[in-house]
Amino acid sequence: MVYPPIIERICIKQQLCIFHIIKNHHDKSYKIINKIQRRIKSLETKINKNEEQIQRIKNKSKEINEKRRSIKDITRQNRIKTRKKLEKQTRQLRRDLSEKRKELQDQESITERIRAIYDTDTEKAAKQRFNTIYNKINQFEKNTQNFLKTLKKKFNKTTEYHKNPQIPRTNNKIEGYFKITLPSHLKRTFRTQKGLIRWIRLQKARWTQRNVVYNLN
């Protein structure tokens, strides 16, 4: 939050990291996709179980018919009733399954289209792709709508790399540098001044333990 005013004040063009922008959407999007996939799997399992049970009922009815039992057989009537109930339930499950597959297809499609916004050679092409998606914003789920609204406000800051080949699309190289030169455990320690002071104290205690207390013993 403190960076943009400083950057604007010293007249530097800001390039927001494309990787993290897309990741912000995809992290939430994939949670939705995974949820839909679990529901699809559950529906498919229920349909398979119903179909197996329906088939067993049909086979049993066939056996009884071959033995020429009474058509008024109560057990047979119960089986017919159960089979019809299962068939009705299965039809509804298939409708639900079809809807979920369509929902999954739509979610995967918009996720891929958002990723492809920046797979262009020019700033104009990137804007065209974004505007094409944004014009259909009401067709998407809430997470994608919020993402597109936020991106629209700062879109110009995501395409500076098109104007200057020296500007990278992402800050991965910078992050990689700090990851190598400042390991995660040190980054966590030095996140605050208090953490830095604590680390210095611990270092002094360890030095005293190794070089003073140990020698006395």
| Same-domain pairing of 139 and 33 | yes
Query: Could you tell me the CA-to-CA distances from 79 to 45, 54, 65, 74, 86 in Å, in that order?
Result: 22, 9, 13, 9, 10
| Same-domain pairing of 56 and 143 | yes
Write the pLDDT tens digit of every residue in 5-41. 666 676 677 788 888 889 889 998 999 999 999 999 9
- Checking if the pLDDT of 178 tops 60, the result is no
CA 47 to chain centre: 27
| Same-domain pairing of 158 and 186 | no
Of 85-89, 179-183, 197-201, the range with the lowest mean pLDDT is 179-183
Residue 93 belongs to a domain: yes
- Checking if the pLDDT of 200 tops 60, the result is yes
Q: In 3D, which of 41, 79, 34, 39 has the Cα closest to residue 60?
A: 79
| Same-domain pairing of 164 and 197 | no
Residue 111 belongs to a domain: yes
Write the pLDDT tens digit of every residue in 84-127. 999 999 999 999 999 999 999 999 999 999 999 998 889 999 99
pLDDT of residue 74: 59
| Same-domain pairing of 72 and 12 | yes
| Same-domain pairing of 84 and 140 | yes
Residue 175 belongs to a domain: no
Q: Which residue has the tokens 């611990």?
A: 202
Residue 134 belongs to a domain: yes
| Same-domain pairing of 62 and 152 | yes
pLDDT of residue 195: 73
pLDDT of residue 198: 78
Residue 177 belongs to a domain: no
Domain of residue 215 covers 182-217
**Residues 107/29, Cβ–Cβ less than 8 Å:** yes
Count of the separate structural domains present in the chain: 2
pLDDT of residue 95: 95
Q: What is the DSSP letter of 164?
A: -
| Same-domain pairing of 145 and 189 | no
CA atoms of 115 and 129, how far apart (whole Å): 10
Residue 149 belongs to a domain: yes
| Same-domain pairing of 120 and 191 | no
Residue 176 belongs to a domain: no
| Same-domain pairing of 134 and 201 | no
Residue 210 belongs to a domain: yes
CA atoms of 80 and 82, how far apart (whole Å): 5
- Checking if the pLDDT of 78 tops 60, the result is yes
| Same-domain pairing of 104 and 206 | no
Sign of CA dihedral 38, 40, 46, 52: negative
Write the pLDDT tens digit of every residue in 121-177. 899 999 999 999 999 999 999 999 999 999 999 898 899 888 888 888 877 565 555
| Same-domain pairing of 158 and 198 | no
**Residues 193/39, Cβ–Cβ less than 8 Å:** no
The two tokens of residue 32 are 């939705």
**Residues 149/156, Cβ–Cβ less than 8 Å:** no
Output the average pLDDT for the chain: 81
Query: Could you tell me the CA-to-CA distances from 20 to 54, 88, 129, 171 in Å, in that order?
Result: 50, 47, 19, 9
